[in-house]
Amino acid sequence: MCSSVVDVGSLSTDELVDAAASIAAELARRDTPDSAAACMEQAEVLARASDVQEGFLARLIAKVDAAGEMRRWGYPSAQAWLRSGLGMRDARAKERVLLARHLPRLSEVAERLAGGSLSLGHAVAIVQSVARLDDEDCGKAETLLLEMADDGFSAGKVAAFGSRIRDVIAERDGTEQAPDDAVRGYRRSWLTSTRSLDGGRYVKGWLNAEDAAVLDGSLGPLAKPAGPEDLRDLAERTAAALTCVLSGGHQATKVTLICDLDTLTGGDSPARLPDGTPIPAAQARRIALSAGVSPLLLGSGGLPLYLGRRARFASPAQRRVLEALYPTCAVQGCEVPGTLSEVDHVDGWALDHGATDIDRLTLCCGWHNRWRHTNPHQTHIHKDHNGRFIYRLLPPPGHDHKPQTLYPWSAGEGRATKAILRRDRAGPHTSAA
C-alpha cells in the first residue's frame, strides 16, 4: 500500500475548502475508536483544528458583510444569512458576525487563533468584551485578556472579567475620574434581549448614571412590597414594575391571543400568541374573562376584508386577520414577527392588478417588502397547506444554486477530494503548515 504526502500549500483556497468539507463528511461516517483515551485525544485535536478553521470562516464572513453580498441573495444582514441561509442558531450567528467584525481590530488574537494557540471560546470572549471600546482601549483590553487566557483562566472567566474591562483599564491607568467619563459613559448604555424556548425573554444590559436615575425614578416606587403578604423578592417586583410602566398602567396594552371557540368553551386545545407561542387553554380562558373578544370571521355584518382597488392600504381589520395568520414575515426563513411587518400585496399594487383583498395580502418585513418589489424575478410564491403565502427567495441572475444548498459534499464528492488524495508523481515531500 503506497502513501503520499500532499503539499497543501499548492492547493487553491477553493480546493482546500472543499477538501475540509469532504474530510468532515468522511469523519462523520467513521466509527469512533474503542479506547476512550484515544477518543479524548482525537477530540482535542479535532476541536483545536475546528477553532483554527473558525478564524478563516470569520474572515470570509467579514468580506461578505463588508461587501453586502448577502443582500443580493435576499438577506437583509449577515446575521440573517447565517441564521436563515446556513441554519445557525441566533446566538451562534451573532457570535460569528461579532467575531468577523472585530477580529481585524485584534491582531494578536487573530494571529493566535489562526496559529492554534488560542481557543475559539477565548477569542469570542475577548471580542465580545471589546465590541463597545474605542481602538485605544481595545488594544489595552486585548493585552489584559490575553494575559488571563495565558494564565489558564477559562473562557467564561475571561468573559466575566471582560464585561467590566473598561473599569479595569481605568483602574490600572489611574483614570477613573477622567473628565470625559460622563460623555463616554452616556454613549455606553446598552440593552440586549434574548428569547427563551418557552417564549419568554432574558434581558441583560448596562445603564450609565443618567439612565439609571431615570430607571430608578420610574420603577423604584412601583417595586416596593404591596403589603406584608407580598412574598415576591425585589427582582420579581422590579419585573412587575417594568411591565406596568411599559403597558401604561395596563391602559394602553394590546395583546392578541388566537384560539378556537372550543377552547373558550372548555376545550383543551391551546391558544397561541401571534408569534406562535402556545398558551394553555385554562390560561387563555382566564385572559378572555377580562379582555375583549373579536371574532375574525366573515359573514353578514362581519369585518370588511375585501376592498379591491378602492383602497391601496390595508384596513386595521385586515391587518388583525393577517397578524393572526402570519406569525412571521412571509419570506421563508425570515424571523421578523408579523406584528412588526408590513402588509404586502402579493400581486403588486403598482402593477395595476393587485387588489387590497384579504386573500391576496400577506405580511412582509420592511426590508424584504422593498427587496421583493425591486427584484421581482428572485421570488417564488406558493401557498402552504394552511393557505398562507410563502415567499421563497431565488438566486441572483447568473447563479445556478443558492449558497445555502445543504452540504453538497455529503456524498464525498468535493472538488478537491481527488487532489488531496492524489499521489505526488514527483515523489513525497513535506506538507505545508
Looking at per-residue pLDDT, the higher value among 411 and 207 belongs to: 207
Enclosing H/E stretch for 343: strand 342-345
Question: How many angstroms separate the Cα of 90 from the Cα of each of 70, 101, 277, 364, 407?
Answer: 17, 17, 17, 20, 20
Confidence of residue 412 (pLDDT cuts 50, 70, 90): very low
Q: What residue spans define the domains of the chain? A: 12-176, 316-393
Rounded to 5 degrees, φ, ψ at 392 are -110, 125
Cell output for 230? 407580598
Indicate the pTM of the whole model: 0.63
Residues 152-189: tens digit of each pLDDT: 999 988 888 887 776 666 666 655 544 444 444 445 67
Q: What is the pLDDT of residue 35?
A: 94
Looking at per-residue pLDDT, the higher value among 99 and 163 belongs to: 99
Strands 389-393 and 278-279, by their bridges, are: unpaired
Cell output for 45? 485535536
Mean pLDDT of 84-101: 90
By the 10 Å C-beta count (0-12 exposed, 13-18 middle, 19+ buried), 100 is classed as buried
Cell output for 366? 420592511
Residues 369-406: tens digit of each pLDDT: 888 888 888 888 888 877 788 888 888 887 765 544 44
Confidence of residue 256 (pLDDT cuts 50, 70, 90): low
Crossing angle of helices 165-173/155-162, nearest 10°?
70
253-271 as b/e: b if 16+ CB within 10 A = eeeebbbeeebeeeeeebb
Strands 389-393 and 379-383, by their bridges, are: antiparallel
- Nearest-angstrom CA–CA distance, 94 and 134: 20
Mention every residue, 6+ apart, whose C-beta is less than 8 A from residue 275. Answer: 199, 327, 328, 337, 338, 339
Residues 108-149: tens digit of each pLDDT: 999 999 999 999 999 999 998 888 788 888 888 899 899 999
Q: What is the pLDDT of residue 304?
A: 42
Beta-strand runs (E) in 89-197:
190-195
Confidence of residue 247 (pLDDT cuts 50, 70, 90): low
Q: Is the pLDDT of residue 410 over 50?
A: no
DSSP β-bridge partners for residue 204: 192
